[in-house]
Every structure is written in C-alpha cells, then in structure tokens.
C-alpha cells in the first residue's frame, strides 16, 4: 500500500516536473525542474529495488550533467523570449503533426500482440537472492566484464587527452598566481625602510 | 602463473597500451623535448608489439569469456595496421615540426587509435566490437582537427565526429536488434542462433543491415562516403596518410570477421549489400576523382574506389575471396603510404602545396621522385606488371570463380575509368612545363617512397611471402570451406 502511494507520488511529481521543464519561462528554473524530475525517477528506481541505478542516476545526472546544464544556461546568454516568439504562429502545424503521430502510435500499439511465450518466462527479478544489486554488479564488473571495463577506461582517457589537446592554449603575457612565490615572500624583499629627513622628501 | 600464461596472447596489446601510457607521461613531464622523445620511443613500442605478434604466429586463443579472439587472421591484419602506423608516424615528423604541430599528444593519440584497431580486429562480440571502434575513431576525431587554428581542419574534425557518431548510432541500433533476436552478443552464439532458426527473421536482417551500414561508414564505402573527401582535405596531411592507410584496413578486417563468424548463415542477405556497396564505391571512386584539383581529395576518391575493389573479394564470400582481400589490403597499404610520402614532399618555399598542378614538370626537377611516384600511380591504376595489378587480379579472379561476372566486369571497367586520373598526374609530372622547384625531399620521405616504389616494382618477382601469409590468415578465419 505504502509502495503504491509512493509510486504515485514520485511518478506524478516526475511528470509535473517534466512538464515544467518545457513550460518554465526562466531557463534556470527549467534546469532546476529537470533536477527535480531526476530525483523523482531515482525514487521510482528505489521502489523497484534497483538502488544502484537510483544512486548512479543521482550522481551522474544531477551531480554532473544538470550542473553542467546550469553553467551552460547561465554562461550562454540565450534569449529564450526570442526563441519562443514564433510559438503561436507554428502552433497549428505543430498540433497537426502531433495529432498524426499520436494517431499512428495508437494504431501501431492497438495492433500490438505480445509474444505468448513471454508470459511463460520467469519473472525477472531486480534483486537476486540474498545479494544487493550493487554487490551483483561488483561481482561481474571486474571479473567477467573486465575487458569491457578497461576498454571503456581507455576510451575515457582518450576523450580527456583529446579535450585537452584541442582546447588548452598557452598564451604569453598571462600573469598566473604563483602560490609558492607568494608564500616565500618576506618583508625584507618588498619593504624598504628609509629615513626621511624633515623637509627634504625622498 | 597459470593465469598469466593464459593471457599471453594479449601481450602485443598490453605492450602497446602500457607503452602509450608511459609515453603520455613522458610527454607531460618533458616540456622542451617531449614531442621528439615520445615520437622516437613510439617506434620501439610499436616494433615490440609487432615482434610479439609475429612470434606467436599460429597460436589461437579466445580470452575474456569469448569476447577477444586471437588468430592468424587478426594477427596478419594487426601487423599490417601497426606497420602502417610506424611508417605514417615516421613520415609525419617534418611536416609537423614545420607547421608547429609537433606535440607529444599527436603520437599518443595515434598509438591509442592503433590500439583501438587491434581491439577491433580481435573483437568477437558486439560490445568488444563497438568499444574497439570507438577507441579507434575517438582518437582519430581529435587528430583530424589537430591543426586547431585552421578552419578547414576544425571542420574536418567536426564533420568526422558528427557523422561518426551517426554511424555509431546505426551500428548500435543494429547490435540491439541482433541481440534482441538471438539473445546473445557473442559472434559464435549469434551464428548458432541463426542456424537453428531456419530462414532468418526480418529483425535479424534489419540488424545486419544496420551493422553493415555502421561498418561501411568506417571503410567509407558508398553510400556512406560523404565525409571522406572533406576530412581528407581538411586534416593535416600526415593524418590524412594515416586515415587512408590504417583505419580502413582495420575496419575491413572487422567487417570480414563479422559477416563470416556472426552471420555465416545469412550469406544471401549480406551478399546483396556487399555487392551493391562494392559496385557503387568502385564507380564513384572512378568518376568522382576525375574533376578533382586537390591531390588530397583525389586520394580520398581513390581510397573509396580501392575499398570498392577490396569489397569485390569480400562479396565472393569464400576463402579465396578473403585471401584476395588480404593481399589487396597489403598492397594498398604500401602504395598508399608511398603516394602520401610524395604528397608530403610537395612543399614550395617551406609551405605545403596541395594542388595537382603544383606537380608540373616534377620529372625535370627531381627525376627519381617523379619516377617512383609515377610507378605508384601506375600501380594504383592497376597496370601490369606492377603490384596493384596483381591485387586487382586476385579479387577479380575470386569473384569470377564465385560466378559473379557482373561484379568483375564492372570492376574492370571502373579501373579503366580510374586509370584516367592516375595517368593525368603522370602526364602533368612528365610532360608539362615545370613550375618553380619543389623543395628538397626530407630523407624520411625519400626512404619511404623508395621502399614502396621498390615493392611495387619487384612484387612480381617474389610475391610468395604476401600470398602465403594471406592464405594462412584466410585459413584461420574459414578453416573448413
């Protein structure tokens, strides 16, 4: 009972947040609603017993992707009001295409027959007997699938090297902060004490 | 100790991987001489990998629960790819240092790309195939736009990246279809599932088509060739040489392995596709190159055409066809690096020139280079008794023996048309009035051009090593046929 309640809570909030992502006028608000949607989907995963997926979703999408979005939205000064200006004039065509797509989907889904053999399949369980699914992942990730894991690691390393090669520019005449030089400075290096005779000036 | 012995066939890859990491660190911590040191050390690393590949000749192994296969087929192609890598790396040093692009990352990325190609050639399931492809191409996207201050180079990298991502998407869609309909990602299991099923289901055919589309993009076969001329023209010339030589060989090897070890029962289905892309590539390569004025674009069309010729052997679908393809790829590799050695030498007043017109009267200013280049062009056109003729001869013979006369006839006609633009270059070099002299050729380019020219000329005298190794490799892939 409680599970059902929470399912509707998370699912409903996810749908509302998803709608608000599109509808929000302020792009920063849209990204914040996106984060809310991610949190609710993570909740749905938790209800299914897939806690690894739930936490990965939070770490990757909220922790990295959504924050990146926020930065991009704030740094690229996109005029969203101008982007949305043609909205009304395109609305009829958009509605027409949307309607056709909807009709097609209904027709396709209406004719859909599930393979009868599917009902005989054993229920797939997100949580195998007695181990959490994080542990289940851990058991195969570094043993059975070590090759894929390492290959993906190489791929990410190449991506990093490539990003640095293509974007790092060494410009001349830039004054960088040199912390060790700052710390090593002593009063003797920078202050000179002079006796100034009255009425003479330096 | 037992575990180590089991994984010994992986040694070449491990050497290349650890060596590359070491070189990356060397480059990072050696700011002044980094590029040169890394470049110099890359040769022994690649040499060691080749040595261990050849040393293990004949050993077969399947590692990592069937996702990594080591056999003579993979080994021969890996040796070819690594040799191509060594030669293009060796040739690129003058160009790079003159244009201020000589950075350690260049070498490191090329080595990573070669590692990806080795992974592709040993891939024995869908995930390993995809990861190998991505390791290979991600490094190539970056080196394509290595001259980041040039709009052309950035455009080349961007185009290659976007279209490469599209092709990866198609490949993955095909993989998901195949997985859905067979329940397995392993090539042997997929083959077994297609046997028991009888006539292949529509879903399998769709999956096969999409996988082939993704792979055809990598070998730039028509209709997935659009990126090739722009990327070849925009990328720095040594990178273009690398593009023309190595990735095509690796992707062709992967294509052959996929169709023969995962879809042997679906030969009627993939044969149609291969025949179509083969004919289309040969024709487009022949006709597209006629109007080109930029020699790098011309080489792009030439490589499209050559991949079409190689696909003739694949379409034959038997062991003889595969032998033909392997011989073709070996000869193509050597001709291509030779031709690019000449293109890299086209410098006037310390600047690269890329127009075919700039070769005018090369025979009067530098006769040996002009002679060797002419021999390579004759060979690329397929004129006997040079190596390129035999390459075409083997694949056409295989097609004729498999009763594919149309394919062979179209191939011969396309190579006649293609001969026109190769001969035009020779005419420009020998019979036109010379322009002001082209700079002296750097010694590395002289060596590469000399060696490949000698190979092309003397192949007819002693072709056995190449034919024998191709036979062994083809036998490893198709033991029973």
Measured between CA atoms, the residue of chain B closest to residue A156 is B135
Span B439-464, average pLDDT: 89
Say what the pLDDT of residue B419 is: 92
What's the rounded Cα separation, in Å, for the pair B481 and B469? 18
Peptide bond into A133 cis (omega under 30): no
Mean of per-residue pLDDT scores for chain B? 91
Say what the pLDDT of residue A126 is: 55
DSSP type of residue B149: T
Of A100-109, A182-191, B42-51, B288-297, the least confident: A182-191
Residue A93 lies in a domain: no
**B63 to A147: CB separation less than 8 angstroms, yes or no:** yes
- Contact map slice: A 116-155 vs B, CB within 8 A: 144, 146-148, 151-152, 154-155
What's the rounded Cα separation, in Å, for the pair B83 and B105? 20
Span B148-164, average pLDDT: 92
**Are A66 and A2 part of one and the same domain?**
yes
Peptide bond into B223 cis (omega under 30): yes
Angle, helices B319-344/B387-401, rounded to nearest 10 degrees? 150
**B115 to A154: CB separation less than 8 angstroms, yes or no:** yes
Contacts of B157 in chain A (CB under 8 A): 166
Say what the pLDDT of residue B354 is: 86
Say what the pLDDT of residue A15 is: 95
Contacts of A157 in chain B (CB under 8 A): 112
Q: The domain spanning residue A17 has which CATH number?
A: 1.20.120.1200
Tens digit of pLDDT at every position of chain A (202 positions) = 888 999 999 999 999 999 999 888 888 888 899 999 999 999 999 998 888 899 999 999 998 888 888 888 888 776 666 776 777 788 889 899 999 999 999 988 887 776 666 666 665 665 667 788 888 888 888 888 999 999 999 999 999 999 999 988 877 778 888 888 888 888 888 888 888 888 777 6
Residue B481 confidence (pLDDT) above 60: no
**Are A65 and A3 part of one and the same domain?**
yes
Runs of H (alpha helix) within B145-266:
151-182, 187-197, 202-218, 227-234, 237-257
Say what the pLDDT of residue B98 is: 86
Say what the pLDDT of residue B437 is: 67
- Contact map slice: B 356-415 vs A, CB within 8 A: none
Least Cα separation, residue B33 to chain A (angstroms): 17
- Contact map slice: B 56-115 vs A, CB within 8 A: 63-65, 67-68, 103, 105, 108-109, 112, 115
Q: Is B131 on the interface with A (CB under 8 A)?
A: yes
The domain containing residue A165 runs over which residues?
127-170
What's the rounded Cα separation, in Å, for the pair B49 and B78? 9
Band of the pLDDT at B216, cuts 50, 70, 90? very high
Residue A4 lies in a domain: yes
Least Cα separation, residue A79 to chain B (angstroms): 26
DSSP line for A67-123: HHHHHHHHHS---HHHHTTTHHHHHHHHHHHHHHHHHHHHHHHHT----GGGGGSPP
Residue A97 lies in a domain: no
Say what the pLDDT of residue A85 is: 72
What's the rounded Cα separation, in Å, for the pair B238 and B12? 25
Q: How many domains does chain A have?
A: 2
Residue A108 lies in a domain: no
Say what the pLDDT of residue A202 is: 67
Contacts of A118 in chain B (CB under 8 A): none
- The tokens for B123 are 């891939």
Q: Are B420 and B309 in contact (CB under 8 A)?
A: no
What's the rounded Cα separation, in Å, for the pair B25 and B23? 5
Consecutive H or E run containing A165: helix A146-167
Higher pLDDT, B380 or B346: B380
**Chain B contact probe: residue of A151, A157, A160 with most B CBs at under 10 A:** A151
Span B392-399, average pLDDT: 93
Span B135-164, average pLDDT: 93
CB atoms within 10 A of CB B227: 21
Say what the pLDDT of residue B11 is: 92
Nearest to B213 by CA among B173, B268, B265, B247: B173
Taking each continuous run of H as one helix and of E as one strand, the counts in chain B are 20, 4
DSSP line for B419-473: HHHHHHHHHHHHHSPP-SPPPPPPHHHHHHHHHHHHHHHHTTT--HHHHHHHHHH
Residue A61 lies in a domain: yes
Residue A101 lies in a domain: no
Say what the pLDDT of residue B242 is: 96
Higher pLDDT, A85 or B247: B247
**B109 to A165: CB separation less than 8 angstroms, yes or no:** yes
Say what the pLDDT of residue B253 is: 96
Contacts of A164 in chain B (CB under 8 A): 105
- Contact map slice: A 165-184 vs B, CB within 8 A: 165-166
**Are A1 and A70 part of one and the same domain?**
yes
Residue B24 confidence (pLDDT) above 90: yes
Higher pLDDT, B311 or A131: B311
Most confident of the following: A28-32, B57-61, B305-309: B305-309
State pLDDT tens for residues B79-92.
999 999 999 999 99
Q: Are B118 and B16 in contact (CB under 8 A)?
A: yes
Residue A177 lies in a domain: no
Say what the pLDDT of residue A121 is: 61
- Contact map slice: B 111-130 vs A, CB within 8 A: 112, 115-116, 119, 127-128
Contacts of A155 in chain B (CB under 8 A): 131, 134-135, 138
Residue A195 lies in a domain: no
Nearest to B263 by CA among B88, B129, B367: B129
Span B290-319, average pLDDT: 93
Residue B441 confidence (pLDDT) above 80: yes
Phi and psi at B63, nearest 5°, equal -120, 170
Say what the pLDDT of residue B12 is: 94
CB atoms within 10 A of CB A8: 10
Measured between CA atoms, the residue of chain A closest to residue B27 is A161
């Amino acid at each position: 009972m409680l599970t059902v309640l929470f399912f509707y809570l998370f699912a409903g909030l996810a749908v509302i947040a998803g709608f608000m992502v599109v509808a929000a006028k302020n792009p920063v608000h849209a990204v914040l609603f996106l984060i809310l949607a991610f949190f609710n989907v993570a909740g749905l995963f938790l209800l299914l017993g897939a806690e690894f997926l739930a936490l990965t979703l939070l770490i990757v999408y909220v922790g990295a992707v959504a924050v990146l979005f926020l930065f991009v939205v704030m740094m690229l000064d996109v005029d969203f009001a101008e982007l949305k200006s043609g909205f009304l004039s395109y609305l009829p065509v958009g509605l027409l295409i949307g309607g056709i797509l909807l009709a097609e989907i209904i027709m396709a889904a209406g004719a859909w027959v599930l393979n009868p053999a599917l009902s005989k399949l054993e229920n797939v369980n997100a949580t195998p007997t007695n181990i959490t699914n994080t542990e289940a992942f851990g058991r195969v990730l570094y043993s059975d699938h070590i090759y894929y894991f390492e290959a993906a690691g190489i791929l990410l390393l190449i991506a990093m090297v490539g990003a640095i090669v293509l974007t790092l520019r060494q410009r001349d005449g830039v004054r960088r902060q040199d912390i060790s030089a700052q710390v090593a400075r002593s009063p003797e290096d920078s202050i000179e004490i002079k006796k100034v005779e009255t009425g003479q000036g330096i | 100790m037992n575990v180590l012995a089991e994984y010994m066939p992986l040694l070449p890859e491990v050497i290349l991987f650890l060596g590359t990491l070491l070189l990356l660190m060397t480059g990072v911590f050696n700011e002044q001489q980094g590029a040169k040191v890394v470049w110099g050390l890359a040769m022994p690393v690649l040499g060691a990998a080749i040595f261990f590949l050849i040393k293990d000749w004949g050993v077969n192994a399947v590692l990592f629960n069937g996702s990594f296969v080591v056999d003579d087929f993979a080994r021969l192609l890996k040796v070819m790819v690594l040799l191509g890598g060594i030669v293009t790396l060796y040739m690129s040093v003058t160009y790079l240092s003159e244009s201020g692009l000589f950075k350690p990352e260049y070498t490191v990325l090329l080595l990573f790309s070669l590692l990806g190609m080795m992974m592709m050639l040993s891939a024995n399931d869908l995930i390993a195939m995809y990861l190998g492809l991505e390791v290979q191409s991600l490094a190539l996207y970056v080196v394509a736009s290595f001259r980041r201050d040039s709009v052309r180079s950035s455009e080349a990298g961007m185009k290659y990246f976007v279209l490469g991502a599209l092709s990866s998407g198609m490949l993955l869609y095909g993989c998901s279809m195949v997985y859905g309909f067979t329940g397995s990602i392993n090539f042997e299991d997929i083959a077994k599932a297609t046997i028991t099923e009888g006539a292949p289901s529509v879903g399998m055919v769709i999956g096969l088509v999409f996988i082939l589309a993704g792979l055809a993009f990598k070998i730039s076969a028509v209709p997935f060739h659009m990126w090739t001329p722009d990327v070849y023209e925009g990328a720095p010339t040594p990178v273009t040489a690398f593009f023309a030589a190595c990735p095509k060989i690796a992707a062709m090897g992967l294509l052959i392995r996929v169709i023969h070890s995962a879809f042997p029962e679906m030969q009627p289905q993939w044969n149609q596709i291969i025949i179509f892309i083969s004919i289309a590539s040969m024709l487009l390569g022949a006709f597209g190159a006629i109007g080109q004025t930029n020699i790098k674009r011309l080489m792009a069309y030439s490589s499209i055409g050559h991949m079409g010729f190689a696909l003739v052997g694949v379409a034959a679908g038997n062991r003889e066809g595969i032998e033909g393809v392997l011989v073709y790829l070996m000869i193509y590799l050597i001709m291509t690096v030779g031709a690019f050695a000449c293109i890299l030498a086209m410098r006037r007043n310390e600047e690269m020139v890329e127009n075919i017109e700039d070769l005018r009267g090369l025979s009067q200013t530098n006769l040996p280079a002009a002679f060797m280049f002419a021999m390579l062009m004759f060979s690329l056109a397929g004129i006997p008794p040079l190596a390129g003729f035999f390459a075409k001869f083997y694949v056409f013979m295989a097609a004729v023996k498999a009763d594919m006369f149309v394919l062979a006839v179209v191939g011969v006609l396309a190579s006649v048309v293609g001969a026109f633009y190769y001969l035009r270059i020779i005419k420009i070099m020998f019979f036109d009035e010379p322009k002001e002299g082209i700079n002296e050729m750097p010694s590395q380019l002289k060596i590469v051009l000399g060696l490949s020219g000698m190979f092309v000329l003397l192949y007819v005298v002693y072709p056995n090593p190449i034919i024998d190794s191709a036979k062994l490799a083809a036998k490893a892939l198709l033991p029973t046929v």
